[in-house]
């Protein structure tokens, strides 16, 4: 089972970016469903709680975290999926 990583930027500033890890295909489908939902703002809290592992990302490590994540999500509703 491969882990899926999601990077979430909750607000501006040094704190507020979290790299979440999820195990299994069922979790991956659930994450994709949440990220496609137009009301994803309130669903992101649920996503944070369901994460197998949650790591706060320092501002200097954001680029590296974005490169390793499958999805990058901002609080403004922007979602990017890395296809490669």
Q: What is the residue extent of each domain of the chain?
A: 3-81
What number is the average pLDDT over the span 51-79? 76
pLDDT band at 56 (very low <50, low <70, confident <90, very high): confident
What number is the average pLDDT over the span 27-51? 69
pLDDT at 84: 44
Judge if pTM exceeds 0.85: no
Q: Which long-range contacts (CB under 8 A, 24 or more apart) does 73-76 make?
A: 73/6, 73/7, 73/8, 73/9, 73/35, 73/40, 73/44, 74/8, 74/9, 75/9, 75/10, 75/11, 75/41, 75/44
């Amino acid at each position: 089972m491969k882990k899926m990583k999601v990077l979430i930027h909750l607000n501006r500033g040094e704190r507020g970016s979290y790299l979440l890890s999820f195990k299994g295909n069922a979790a991956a489908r659930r994450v994709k469903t949440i990220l496609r939902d137009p009301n994803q703002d309130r669903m992101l809290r649920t996503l944070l709680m369901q994460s197998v592992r949650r790591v706060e990302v320092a501002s200097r490590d954001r680029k590296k975290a974005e490169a390793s994540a499958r999805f990058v999500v901002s609080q403004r509703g922007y979602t990017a999926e890395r296809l490669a």
